[in-house]
Amino acid sequence: STEFDPTLEGSLPPDFHWGFATAAAQIEGAWNRDGRGPSIWDTFCHSGGNIKDNTTVDDACMSYDLIEEDVARMKSYGINAYRFSLSWSRIIPLGGKDDPVNEAGIAYYSKLVDRLLENGITPFLTLYHWDLPESLYRRYGGMLNKARYTLDFMRYARVCFESFGDRVKYWITYNEPVLSARAGYAEGRHAPGHTSATEVWIVGHTEIVSHARVCAMYKQEFQPTQKGHIMITLSGDWCEPWDQDDPLDLEATKRAMDFDIGWFADPLYGKGECDYPASMRAQLGDRLPCFTAEEQRLIRGSSEFYGMNSYTSHFIKHRDGPPEENDAKGNIVRMDTNKDGKERGTESDTPWLRTAPWGWAKLLRWIWDRYQLPIYITENGTTAKGELGWRPNSNDDILEDPHRIDYYKSYVAEVAKASQEGIVIKSYLAWSLLDNFEWALGYTARFGVTWVDFEDPKRTRYTKRSALFLGEIFRHLIAQKR
Ligand code: PNW
């Protein structure tokens, strides 16, 4: 039995969406098949030395070949929603607005959408989950060139709305723009691997402006007939001061949340003028671009909902002295305990991630109070110790993952409690359906509710207990339609 809090029964509305999320580069494989062009992640993997286990996304989970099996699996888990991303370079191999569309790419996603709908699963489509077409990066620096990039992104979005918008009603422009700009252009951990003090802010600006233009286009040209919705998904975890009584830690904590969340959320959803947080201007000065009046009008209100990815919580200490040149986090240090030795949560298999639902309780209320719009939780999940070494004994083995079950149980309970209090939460999409390519960590971090055998050329999948557990929880929590 799930032993789930009986007072939370029926606390989520009948139209609540729950399920799993993935991203193209992390699961599809087939990197050069059926006309697909390379993305900056293909290049980043192939150039060597960037990925912890020296792997690539060439084959990944082979989801390109295993649609039928994967959708059947989703159905058996009982989900009613699935979030996945489109590979831009599978749809337009060279990426640009005048470049040809790859019909095989359209056909692949079209079939996936159809299979999902046939099985009662609502698709949520992310346009951009970090895999920029390599050709746009080579031609003009990709997102470093706002004007050219935006036109290309709009054309790509248009092709997607035209091809799938008759059936797809939930669109996400960008996944975690903060993470991709920061890790890709300031910290060098992600493609394209730059460590610049200026580029990260230019790339962020391109992301928010191009997001807003695509939203405007969707609302004007597609929404009236297609009747779907569009949003952006932001990452961000709750932060608390390391020393409650140190004004410098209090300030650093606010700064951490400004740099992690406010950077995009304030211009998009804030109450004052559409601009970046003041603490960012104070630290970055001229390096932070300015919005034109037209951009401000487009950005504010562009995203219809708050798309939220969050995994953990942090204690924040101020740093003494000036920030590092390419600092993009607000001159802070993340700590695992506070001054009194309180741990932020139970360890997972991934250093940055601990089970810390106490912070989620606060984060959901903070977002609701500050930005006041419905929340779609589009990612939440964890790795669990010991899964790397697990080997299946037979085809019907189930991997027991109590750590992940405890994690989900505690996080979903916060969703249910917040919902009972009147905070409007519309979805919970766990990361991830499958163990997959975890960016710079390669295949050494398993986030899935399905164990994938990466040594097996067939990428055989095995169910983890948590996959079945989530279904039980949501059957308990979602109220019946009356
Ligand atoms: C998100 N961090 O990335 C992404 O949207 C997914 O593609 C990814 O697989 C998932 O979360 C799990 O990591 C993150 O270092 C990557 O704080 C790193 C961090 C946070 C989110």
Share of the chain above pLDDT 70, in %: 100
Protein residue whose Cα sits closest to atom 4 of ligand 1: 176
pLDDT score of 1: 42
DSSP labels, 372-404: -S-EEEEE-----TTTTT---SSTT--B--HHH
How far does the centroid of ligand 1 lie from the alpha carbon of residue 409, in Å? 20
Mutate to test the pocket of ligand 1, among 179, 348, 352, 432 (most ligand atoms within 8 A of CB): 179
How far does the centroid of ligand 1 lie from the alpha carbon of residue 410, in Å? 20
Over range 135-141, report the average pLDDT: 98
Rounded Cα distance, 174 and 129, in Å: 6
pLDDT score of 481: 84
Mutate to test the pocket of ligand 1, among 308, 431, 444 (most ligand atoms within 8 A of CB): 431
How far does the centroid of ligand 1 lie from the alpha carbon of residue 151, in Å? 28
> Residues 176-221: pLDDT tens digits?
999 999 999 999 999 999 999 999 999 999 999 999 999 999 999 9
Residue 4 has pLDDT above 90, yes or no: no
Residue 2 has pLDDT above 70, yes or no: no
Three-class SS state of 61: coil
How far does the centroid of ligand 1 lie from the alpha carbon of residue 24, in Å? 14
Rounded Cα distance, 446 and 386, in Å: 10
CA 218 to each of CA 170, 343, 373: distance values in angstroms, whole numbers, following the listed order = 12, 45, 20
C-beta 175 within 6 A of ligand 1: yes
Phi, psi of 24 (to 5 degrees): -50, -55
Question: In terms of Cα–Cα distance, which of 136, 43, 145, 132 is closest to 97?
Answer: 136
DSSP 234: E
Atom in ligand 1 nearest the alpha carbon of residue 175 = 5
> Residues 164-178: pLDDT tens digits?
999 999 999 999 999
C-beta 435 within 6 A of ligand 1: no
Rounded Cα distance, 395 and 257, in Å: 45
Cβ neighbours around 14 below 10 Å, total: 10
> Residues 225-255: pLDDT tens digits?
999 999 999 999 999 999 999 999 999 999 9
Spatial contact of 354 and 410, defined as CB atoms under 8 Å apart: no
Residue 464 has pLDDT above 50, yes or no: yes
Distance of CA 460 to the CA centre of its chain: 25
pLDDT score of 9: 96
How far does the centroid of ligand 1 lie from the alpha carbon of residue 383, in Å? 11
Phi, psi of 311 (to 5 degrees): -125, -25
Over range 352-360, report the average pLDDT: 98
Question: In terms of Cα–Cα distance, which of 79, 245, 110, 277 is closest to 178?
Answer: 277
Over range 54-77, report the average pLDDT: 98
Rounded Cα distance, 418 and 289, in Å: 36
Over range 399-409, report the average pLDDT: 97
C-beta 447 within 6 A of ligand 1: yes
Atom in ligand 1 nearest the alpha carbon of residue 235 = 21
Distance of CA 371 to the CA centre of its chain: 19
Q: What is the average pLDDT value for the chain, to the nearest integer?
A: 97
C-beta 438 within 6 A of ligand 1: yes
Residue 422 has pLDDT above 50, yes or no: yes
Q: Which residue has the tokens 């489509």?
A: 125
Burial (CB < 10 A; 0-12, 13-18, 19+), residue 146, is middle
Q: 143 Cβ partners below 8 Å, 6+ apart?
A: 132, 149, 181, 202, 203, 206, 207
How far does the centroid of ligand 1 lie from the alpha carbon of residue 9, in Å? 31
Atom in ligand 1 nearest the alpha carbon of residue 312 = 17
How far does the centroid of ligand 1 lie from the alpha carbon of residue 182, in Å? 12
Q: Which residue has the tokens 């998009």?
A: 268
Atom in ligand 1 nearest the alpha carbon of residue 233 = 5
> Residues 81-126: pLDDT tens digits?
999 999 999 999 999 999 999 999 999 999 999 999 999 999 999 9
Helices and strands in the chain, H and E counts: 17, 15
C-beta 179 within 6 A of ligand 1: yes
DSSP labels, 89-108: HHHSTT-STTSPP-HHHHHH
C-beta 23 within 6 A of ligand 1: yes
**Hey, what are 276's tokens?**
């970046």
Atom in ligand 1 nearest the alpha carbon of residue 381 = 12
Catalytic residues: 176, 379
pLDDT-based confidence at 482, cuts 50/70/90? Answer: confident
Q: Is 0.90 exceeded by the ipTM?
A: yes
Atom in ligand 1 nearest the alpha carbon of residue 432 = 9
Protein residue whose Cα sits closest to atom 18 of ligand 1: 179
Three-class SS state of 297: helix
**pTM (whole model) above 0.90:** yes
Residue 402 has pLDDT above 80, yes or no: yes
pLDDT score of 332: 98
Cβ neighbours around 107 below 10 Å, total: 12
Phi, psi of 165 (to 5 degrees): -65, -20
Three-class SS state of 478: strand
Residue 393 has pLDDT above 90, yes or no: no
> Residues 48-59: pLDDT tens digits?
999 999 999 999
